[in-house]
Amino acid sequence: MSEQFEPKIVAFFCNWCTYTAADLAGISRMKYAPNVRVVRLMCSGRVDPQFILAAFRDGADGVLIGGCHPGDCHYQEGNYKALRRFHLLKPVLEEMNIEDERFRLEWISASEGDKVQKVINEMVEQITKLGPLDLEPISTPETLDEMLEKEQEIAV
């Protein structure tokens, strides 16, 4: 019997909205897939694009960012900064052959425990279908010649 693939999802949740919503989902005994590993941050604006890359590097099959609805940020506009970075990072991940479904940004307010449940279940389902993330190992060029060769390859 082959073991079923269980995706690992790293979630960066804003302390004021999505993290509270996840708490609410817990208090309300809502069941959702246990594949999400939550990292609490004070604001979705704290999410450094490096965190997402690091998560994928360290074995995450998906990354979820949960922030406040537009206009509701506890720090006024941190969620807009998160949105900007999200859109800038998307094409980079595409270049790395990381599918669209693996990286998601959601606005979830503190009262939307059901939305936490829905988003997580949806994401786990989609990523389970995609299978584990297989990142190509990066070969670091050793010599200058190799480096130039690589450059040319990209140029072609």
In one-letter notation, the amino acid at residue 68 is C
Does the footprint of another protein cover residue 50 (CB under 8 A)?
yes
For another protein, the binding residues in 22-41 under the rule CB under 8 A are 27, 37-39, 41
- Nearest-5° Cα angle at 121, 60 to 51: 30
- Which tokens hold the place of 1? 């019997």
Q: Which stretch binds another protein (CB under 8 A): 54-62, 94-102, 118-126, 145-153?
A: 54-62
- Mask of contacts with another protein, 88-127, x by CB under 8 A? ---------------------xxxx---------------
The rounded distance, in Å, linking the Cα atoms of 15 and 144 is 47
Residues 141, 100 contacting (CB under 8 angstroms): no
CA 89 to chain centre: 11
Residues 101, 126 contacting (CB under 8 angstroms): yes
Q: How many residues bind another protein (CB under 8 A)?
A: 37
Shortest separation between residue 152's beta carbon and another protein, angstroms? 29
- Binding footprint of another protein on the chain (CB under 8 A): 6, 8, 10, 16-17, 27, 37-39, 41-43, 45-51, 54-55, 58-60, 71-72, 74-78, 81, 85, 109-112
